[in-house]
Structure 1
Amino acid sequence: MSFAHYLLQVNLYLIVFYGFYKLLLDKETYFSLNRAYLVTAGLLSLFIPFIRLEWLTEQKAAQQVYTSVNWEAVLQQATIVTESNTGFNWGSAFVYIYCAGILFFLGRLVLNLLAVKNLINTAKAGSAFSFLKNKIVDQDLPLVDVIDIHEEAHIKQWHTVDILFFEILGVITWLNPIIYFYKKSIKNIHEFLADEQAAKFQGDKAEYAMLILSQSFGVSPNRLANGFFDKSLIKKRIFMLQKERSKKIAIMKYGFFIPLFALLIVFSSATVRKNKKLIAISEQIPLEKPIEIVQEMVAPKEEFVNERLSKSVIKPSTEKIDGNWTNFYRFMAKSIKYPVDAQKNNLQGNTQIKFTLKNNKVTNVSTVLDLGDGCDEEVMKSLLSYKDFKNLPDGNYVLKVDFRLTDNNSKIKNEKALLLPSHKKLSDINVIGYSNPVRENITDEKIDKIYDFVSIEKQPEFPGGIKKFYEYLSKSIKYPKLAQENNVQGKIFLSFIVEKNGALTDVQITRGLGSGTDEEAVRVISGSPRWNPGLAEGKAVRVKYNINVNFTLSSENDQGTTPDPTVKTQNLLLRSTEKNSSIKLSDGTFNGVVVIDGIRLLNNNLLSTLDPNDIESISVLKDQLATNSYGYKAKNGVLLIATKAGKKNNLLMKSDQKEITINKPSAYDIKQ
């Protein structure tokens, strides 16, 4: 139950209770009973919204018999992102205004309390009032002893507590004008009670009334205090003082409060049930116009891969049901799922839902038997999702759904159904789920953790090194014909997980090109031979790995391709070319590792002796990829140079008249 819904009920009950008071009790002289009624009405208005009728009733049960038909469902998981709404929201504005009002009236209450404290400390001449246990009466006033008895009555009967209670209630319900009538009525009753005590002490009501009238120009205290000289109450005080006492039979009027209280409990119980279930469920019902958008589809979690799905079973009723209900049963059987929470908690049992069908619309949906853990809500959601009631007869119906777990001996909740003579019974539906398998020896929190490539002591590696992996990709990846025809070029960003057994799983395209290039890259990487797994703390772990695949179409007149100096991850370059242009190396010192035709140079100065015309291709490795392949000295990068003389050892191959060259991005200058 939301706070707004709670406030709505509180204000409604305050109005109903006060209406009853004004209608039957206001004119009676049973002031103590009236006082008790008003205070009780305020308290009950605060607490009735929390009272449930189910606490006060005992449910009877009956037996049910049925047969079944099976079906199977398919699970799918999606990430849903609610579409943002930047427009003005009246609901939010009302909440802000209401909260601002609460703060304002709370501040005013605090200021009034401080004013009363100051009034007690600096009482003026002619003052006569009381607050809690504090009594201020000017001893120079006429008949001071009578006034003193009046104020003493306020203190002994704790009238200030009533006033403070309604002041606090008024802070919460400040928007409801009825609360101000409560405040006025309770103050009137306080004065009537105190006047009774003072008049009894005086011995003459007429003389006491003259005392009140003669002091009508006295000093009025703060509205939180009980003041003898309250000008706004003098007329009514004198009237009630002289009024004939109510007859004893009038006490019977107070008895009508009991059925009123019971009626409000029934109303609250129905409202709470609707709020907790129907309102929450309605948010899950698919709408004709979506209010949410699906941003991405996510594969089912690994823990559900081998989990058997739940199935629903229709069990026909022994009563004769119109054949038009067939589509309804079929829909419900496919729609109802066994809630995950219920499966985890090994909950099985029966839920009964009653509803009214009128003019093709379902109303008055509520539970007859509550099962819990989302089972009741699941049935209601499916019921309210069904739209094809146009050929079904109007009436009151009750639907029983049995939730059962296979291979589970847990207690059946609500095993016996209730009989509702006023509702026509529909065929039962049985939802069969499977108990969660017990996972043994899962105590290590890191067992399924996915590590980052650079955060472990030993990175995963393809057998034979990263060059062998590129060789595998070179031999396996084909430039899709559709991509060539559409002149599709560019980079595909992929990620995959190297499992503890070396297998590559969860191959995902984080950014693709289309035209068959994405599928081709995923196909080849998914079929990769097993890697040597990464190690953390001496144990094999799951490691996430990233790679880029660059599909490039080049003509015979293209100049040499200069790798992108900003990209730091692995990159696979696929060319469609018949001829390579010459490449010249820039002068300068290179402090990394140089490998020519697979042979590592001990002296990098030998680069200056290399004729650029003899170079077939150049590749560059850097960062983690370089150190993994060639050790710590490769931290400044690795130059892989293939010469024309060593072409037979280079990573080149002819395939469908296309030359596929493996290349890497570089942060170093490679000038043409």
Structure 2
Amino acid sequence: MTWAHYFLQVNIYLVIFYAFYKLLLDKETYFVLNRMYLIAAGGLSLIIPFLRPEWFVRQPATQQIKISIDQLTMIAQGTVAPDESNPFSLIQALIVLYILGILFFLGRFIFQLFAVKKLFRANPAGMAFSFLGRKVIDPALPGLDTIERHEEIHIRQHHTFDVLFFELLGVLVWCNPIIYFYKTTIKNIHEYLADEEAAKFQGDKETYAMLILSQAFGVNQNILTNSFFNQSLIKKRVFMLYKKRSAKTAVLKYGLFLPLFAVTLLLSSATINKNESLRKVAEEISVPISLPEPSLPIIKAGPVKKETGSWAPFYAYLAKSIKYPVAAYKDQLQGNVTIKFTLQNNEPKNVGTVTQLGSGCDAEVMKTILNFNGFKSTENGQYSITIAFRMNGATTPLKNTQNINLKGYKPLRLITIISNYDSKTQPQDTEAKVYDFVSIDTQPGFPGGMDHFYAYLHKAVRYPAEAVKNNIQGKVFLSFIVEKTGELKDIKVERKLGWGTDEEAVRLLSSSPKWTPGTQDGVPVRVKYNIPISFTLTQENKTSAIPIETGAAPLYIIDGKPATDKTALEKISPNDIESMTVIKSEKAIVLYGDAGKNGAIQVVTKKKN
């Protein structure tokens, strides 16, 4: 759970608890219970996000856990581009604003504490207030004994601690308006409690009410103190003095707090913790930390107009995710790449090139389109999109500048990827070049093949306890570089799953034995490699052991003919590939029977004239 996810939950629970108070408890005269409820509401709002309902029920002794690794999208995910530096975004601006707000309100709180200390030293005339175990009352005030009694109640019932608690909570959630209602309400209840006791001591409600009214106006207040003469509360205090006490049956309303607590606990686990939209918002708010490549300039997307509609997330994702390939940068390659694809059941199919630019640009765009998983609200159909790679400061001509109107395909908006070219930033060490996975002679691999890699995972994986508790399943997408020595370096999580699975996936690759390096022209080279690791939980209690199963390689279909393994695919030049389509296991079984149980990759090569 990220800090942003926690912050969102705390604010949601504060609103729920206060809404319950206003609807059912606000008008009741059980002031002690009201006070206890508000304090509990604030405390539980901070605690509930950490609680899980499964802690309170009996759990089965064992769980069967499976982890599998699939390579369905591995080939389409080859890339050689360095990470781009993220510009200062709106999310980062909000984070800075939130931190500044915390510092401001914390400073204000400290200033108020010093102001209270100054009040005690000044001992001003006409004042009557208390703070913690101390009180200040002007001896010249009328009804001195009654006022003394009033302030004694504040001290004896420790009302100042309530005020300090909600002030500190307000520092944390200063941007939530509901916290200011909590502060006002708790101070009201303090006064009702003290007034109730003081009126009994006075023996006459009318005389006590007149005492309040006679001295309340024109008196300065401090927000942290419990003041007898609080002008803003006079009307409510007098009203509560004369209000008929609540019936005993009204106590039953407070019993509803336990079901409310259970509902919020279930909401925490079943709705908020596992709500994908909230989790994505929380991840967006998390502070990104990015280090630019030392040998390359900043590469950024071109200016993107604010988009609306179902395609807006797709355009934003492309602008953010497409990187200028190193090989294209080195060659000062500029031009357009046009890609066609078909949306079928909200998934991209038959992704292929219409115009090619080369040097990794085509593969970078295809990979990014295949990685996008937000087509759920987009209309199915055939589409084409042009990505313009531009380099400020380069002198090379533009390629593929002609307009492409592909019959039967709806053209989407142009996306421009911009790099600032500087000859001084050219990589000086040619040995450091990173190659594309699909553009070298021999791809890197685990010693003995991928079956041995699965066996390594079978032995080494530890399913994170937090992920097991929260029933977290899904894929972690990673990238890494296979060095010339076979070591795996620069391991990065490209798409997170969370709850400890990202760290476990990185640990598995970091601890992996050395791979067989890839080669180009018979010489070992550095190769960028992308791979998704799937985490899956199943509920079966047939054994006390915890078996871990790994997935097998997918079925490869090349020009309609099945291939026994990916070796046949590796023999095909990337320039000869027309399109690649990833088919999930359920659909692959329908098309190819049991052979497609691990998914399938359909490859269509270009027709030779």
Query: TM-score under structure 2 normalisation?
Result: 0.49
Higher relative contact order (CA closer than 8 Å, sequence separation 6+): 2
Tell me which protein shows more helix as a share of its residues: 2
Query: TM-score under structure 1 normalisation?
Result: 0.45
Larger Rg over CA atoms:
1
